[in-house]
Copies of this chain bind each other. A is one copy, B any other.
């Protein structure tokens, strides 16, 4: 059920995008009990000036490799699960495609289970 929005700099390769999507998805499988086939991701590309980040907020040095990940998901994950998710996404992205952990912004938006329809006009999780 997570719906993942990833905002990246324009001009990246399709390999880069696929690797980013894989990294995020595997992290969700490993840390917050998302089913393997529950993969829904929306990528948007942004030129200079359209993906704005501060290069030092919270003492974390960010570079042009910055990307923003916003995940809408069901309520119910514990703080420890969220911590594990953030750490795993960053670790996976560092491994491939090779993104600095400092450049990874993640935000979660939580909703109740009844707020999803995954097709056929049905409330998929509220039967």
Contact = CB atoms under 8 A, between A and B. Distances in A.
B79 A123 contact: yes
B117 A90 contact: yes
A89 B119 CA distance: 10
A117 B67 CA distance: 12
Contact of A50 (B44, B114, B120, B121): B44
A11 interface: no
A29 interface: no
Interface in A10-66: 14, 17-18, 21, 35, 37-46, 49-54, 56-58, 60, 62
Given A44-B46, A89-B121, A122-B87, A37 B57 contact: yes
A50 to B, nearest CB: 4
A114 B49 contact: no
A105 to B, nearest CB: 6
Interface of A: 3, 7, 14, 17-18, 21, 35, 37-46, 49-54, 56-58, 60, 62, 68, 70, 72, 79, 82-83, 86-91, 101-111, 114-124, 126
